[in-house]
Structure 1
Amino acid sequence: MLALEHDVLPTPATQARILCVEDDPEIAHMLSDVLEDNGFAPMFAGTASEMDALLQRESIDLVVLDVMLPGEDGLSICRRLRQWSSIPIIMVTARGEDLDRILGLELGADDYVTKPFNSRELMARIRALLRRADSGAATMRHRARPLTFAGWRIDPTRRELHDPTGVRITLTSAEFDLLLAFCRHPGQVLSREQLIDLAQGGLAGPVERSIDVHISRIRQKIEPDPQDRSMIKTVRLGGYLFTPVVEPA
């Protein structure tokens, strides 16, 4: 039997929807009380198929997923969820089942608790994961915002570059990723190794010097005078420096 200490944290949470995948009716009832008392909106599924149906028709913020379930177990469910969703997952494992905890994390679970556990620990872990998810979503929204520099506009979502007159400029994938990296780190000297990392692997070829070719092509497209190199400066023994002021569009 699951030992839940029925503690209520002093600060109520927002109405985040928590889906508990748990086949034990007694544990489900106890979890429902704890989640509601702490300001969450609990939903329950006893099997993988019930969970799938709920996920199709409801917006869920976090999943509390028991490992031991009839039919498809929690580890298989976790693996399947991670193939299409980044929803936060807390695995629930039996005490001492180290292999289940390790496998759960390797399959994409964000956290785990072991039975028996108390409500204060579970609520703290749920809140921490929801904060991380909110922060990650805010970061993604921020990184998706179009940016402007010297009259130019670069849109990370559409992957488009427009010159000061509004004309769209054609860039290769590698050129776009490099220019976007510069725009996200203006006024900072970036080495070739850093640019490889920041360009997210979009560069052609394994040799760092290939960056020089891509940057040369970018310069030909954005520099007022390609011979002057006022926007992308070469820093001897350092790398490259993007000089324009970059602002949100």
Structure 2
Amino acid sequence: MQKVLLIDDDGKLAEALGEYCVRFDIQIEPALTPSSGLNKLSRDQYDAVILDVMLPEMNGFEVCKRIRQESDIPIIMLTARGDVTDRIVGLEIGADDYLPKPFDPRELVARLQVNINRHARLAKSTIVPADTELYFDGLSLNLLKREVVVGGSAVELTTMEFSLLQLLSESPGTAFSRDQILSVLKGTENELFSRSVDILVSRLRAKLKPLLPIRTLHGAGYAFVLPVAEPPGPPAT
């Protein structure tokens, strides 16, 4: 059974969702406050998080930021207004999906299943590594360990950020359209919009500073532009 953490101060919603989702082999575990939810997430294993925007103690955006500092678990945000600004902010800080209130529980279950399956697929790296390690000026990737080093310092990326970087860096100079990126990273089964790709690229660029490895090719998409470098030699003896 898949285990999902619901951080929402509406106890009745948690109870109703718990009764509905169990028929789809999904267990909903409620947390009525952000502190309770973050504590549960630090102690237990979950397959996804459902996160309300309007919460006591701190808003859902701040909770999302804190979760992303420690985990790349799928996060679906609930927005009371369905405001486009709320959706974009949520995606910018690391949420995977959003759902405006009120919502049909069938849609929530569908989005949970899509995001959980996608996360599992990316964690197993559906992009088959041609080489274990890739080296560029100022940047290196270990595809098996899913590690990134910029200027000698390790950089923490989410599963989707790493998969985007791997996709682009394995074909330097090649332009990838938003549709191609969406198809590889999220699958055609998920209802998405191209703006989410722009947000993902923006997040990745911010983490790779001061390097500028990803160039926007207007009308074509995005391309990785760092020069290839030779692997480091053995340490001097």
TM-score range, shorter chain: 0.5 to 0.7
Aligned 1:75-94 pairs, distance under 5 A: 75-94=61-80
Give the partner amino acid of 2:109: M
The offset of 1:146, in angstroms, is 6.3
Q: 1:156 to 1:121 in 2, by over 3 A?
A: closer
Aligned equivalents of 1:46, 1:131: Cα separation in 2: 26
Q: 1:96 to 1:210 in 2, by over 3 A?
A: closer
The offset of 1:121, in angstroms, is 0.6
Aligned equivalents of 1:209, 1:105: Cα separation in 2: 26
The offset of 1:16, in angstroms, is 1.1
Q: Name the SS of the counterpart of 1:139 in structure 2.
A: coil
Q: 1:156 to 1:20 in 2, by over 3 A?
A: closer
* Residue of structure 1 in register with 2:91 after alignment: 105
Aligned equivalents of 2:117, 2:123: Cα separation in 1: 10
Moved more, 22-31 or 133-142: 133-142
The offset of 1:130, in angstroms, is 0.9
**Rg larger in structure:** 1
- Report how many residues are paired: 161
TM-score, length-normalised on structure 1?
0.54
* Residue of structure 2 in register with 1:17 after alignment: 3
The two structures, once aligned, show a CA RMSD in angstroms of 3.8
Moved more, 29-38 or 57-66: 29-38
Alignment match of 1:135 (pick from 87, 111, 121): 121
* Residue of structure 2 in register with 1:124 after alignment: 110
The offset of 1:144, in angstroms, is 11
Aligned equivalents of 1:138, 1:209: Cα separation in 2: 26
CA deviations on 1:187-229 (whole Å, 9 max, x unpaired) are: xxx7x646xxxxxx8xx9x9x8964xx55x89x99xxxxxxxx
After superposing on structure 2, the runs of 4+ consecutive aligned residues of structure 1 that deviate more than 3 Å are 140-147, 155-159, 208-211
Alignment match of 2:32 (pick from 46, 71, 94): 46
Which structure 1 segments of 5+ residues have no match? 1-14, 148-154, 160-172, 174-180, 195-200, 222-249
The offset of 1:96, in angstroms, is 4.1
> Retained in 2: the 8 A contact 1:144–1:156?
no
Aligned equivalents of 1:19, 1:84: Cα separation in 2: 16
Q: 1:78 to 1:17 in 2, by over 3 A?
A: same
Q: Name the SS of the counterpart of 1:44 in structure 2.
A: strand
The offset of 1:106, in angstroms, is 1.1
Aligned 1:1-249 pairs, distance under 5 A: 15-139=1-125, 143=129, 157=144, 193=173, 211=228, 214=229
Aligned equivalents of 2:227, 2:130: Cα separation in 1: 27
> Retained in 1: the 8 A contact 2:82–2:99?
no
The offset of 1:37, in angstroms, is 1.8
Identity of aligned residues (%): 36
Q: Name the SS of the counterpart of 2:103 in structure 1.
A: coil
Q: Name the SS of the counterpart of 1:27 in structure 2.
A: helix
> Retained in 2: the 8 A contact 1:47–1:71?
yes
The offset of 1:59, in angstroms, is 0.2
Q: Name the SS of the counterpart of 1:83 in structure 2.
A: helix
